[in-house]
Structure 1
């Protein structure tokens, strides 16, 4: 196959924007500067129980090697649902509205919390290249209630969208909680963003008897050629009146120890939000992204009573078909003899309540 310069450029931009392969553009952003720890060597963060990110040679092998099977998604796959959330949800009730990909609105105890909000058309630093939406956000931006808190898990473009964060800041001025170093990215883009950065295992009081703890997850981070793993990544344990919620925005499975440790340290868990998409080809993706079979094992490991699936159906980051994650999740649940209703797959705009 002849690799044209244009195709190579488009491929690398898309891979860098969506899955964190080091990008081809120069990164001049400031990065985190802090003390050495058991997961920071003074320059780079690392997961002692994880795996290093793939190399540029490996991404080229994936993109241009022989035998690749990539399913082409339809240009536009609208969801039949669209949510108009209430101004707030009080008491012990928790309302989950699926925005799309890894973005959620969680309403409980009078506070409105967004997870990894992305309202942009592309998960990319560019408007002309990179993974493009295949459906609208499940909540139109103008239909959002007042946003009090935003949790941003890491710096990949399908999770940290500075355009959306700036728009949220202008509209609501929310408090933004994120792992170490991602605040630098946000402040470099927009000094008005109220970003606060925390380390793994730090617990943050949010008000109204809500709190969040940042916990290790099997992933990594990059936004440019020279900032690989210079910002931290995390999952979240959100304490609510209805119980603890385990929010995993991006993670590989490994041997499951990350999930078992959360169960040991923070259980019992009322509900887990787990990723099920962006997993093919497995040789390339398995260290950083779970497939549905992995997600079912992660649910068993963390011991949550209920799970919601996400990280599928909005941005095509990898090679599987648009409906493959949901179909494979059902099959994996059946094989594990887990009732399908215990691990629900929503479409953008659908709502789940506990």
Structure 2
């Protein structure tokens, strides 16, 4: 990772999601906090500072997250249709005794002590050159930059220290998925010739096999219980959401990434695309960008990591300049 790209973004706390928090689990505070229990604990309840060991948290937008283990962050990263509206990247961090911190596109809620702890640790990681931040801002003269002139990117608060070993579940697939999703995964790896530049990325993945396991991504667009096995698959998602990736991380290191692609829409996985279908390879490229640790760029950008995809957006298969600079900064 290039320290200059990250350090310049220390002030952009609202732009990227948080790093996971390492806590002293099992050490009781001087005044024990109350506990929250149940399958749909609200953010308002979390704001009281309660400790949560199990159950689920429901966000105001309806997304439901299984409570992660103490010391773990789970992040949900969707891609929307251009007419559906982006629900926003969301993270839930369980700090243990300080409670749970929730972030939705940089807006913080949950236990105040947890939020303070997450932000303090995240600031320390950024200052040390190990954290997250925004990349260079889009340049231009009022008109939208092209994919080869737009240098913008956003780094999320996690990265992989090994290759992503993953399985695919073809049940309910709306297109031939394995080849298309694998192409999306490898678009970020190795020697990348982008916009006249040559970049070498150490982001890597290994497809293992098909599986009957289902990805731990819920129909609400939230995240379920991880099993340390990264799986892609198909299922229902809220209207306007094409796909969602859930990533679990500990102390800034990603340990699992699951993806769900929506069965609500028509998809294409052929070399060319026509009609009111969504290009699976292009959307998969976007979701694997999230899996590797990249966040959204501006909706007006022509980059892979813009937050929404139009039907037959095959241009999203190929990295733009900002996309390549982002993966280079991360790996």
Choose between structure 1 and 2: higher strand proportion: 2
Normalised to the residue count of structure 1, the TM-score between the two structures is 0.24
TM-score, normalized by length of structure 2? 0.26
